[in-house]
Amino acid sequence: MIISKPKPSTIFSIMMFALPLLAAGIYGIYIFKNGNALWYHYLYMIGFGPVALGLILRQIFGYKTISIGKDKLTISFLMKRNEVIHSLKQLKEWGETNIKTPSGNYKQLEVIFEDQQKVVLSMQEHTEYHQVIKYLKKKYTRKMIS
Q: Say if residue 131's pLDDT is above 90.
A: yes
Q: Say if residue 37's pLDDT is above 80.
A: no
Average pLDDT for the chain: 88
pLDDT-derived band of residue 44, with 50, 70 and 90 as boundaries?
confident
pTM: 0.77
Summarised one tens digit per residue, pLDDT across range 71-90 is: 899 999 888 888 989 988 89
Strands (E), the chain: 2-4, 64-69, 72-77, 82-87, 91-101, 104-113, 118-122, 144-145
Q: Which of 136, 143, 4 is nearest to 71 (CA)?
A: 136
First to last CA, the chain: 25
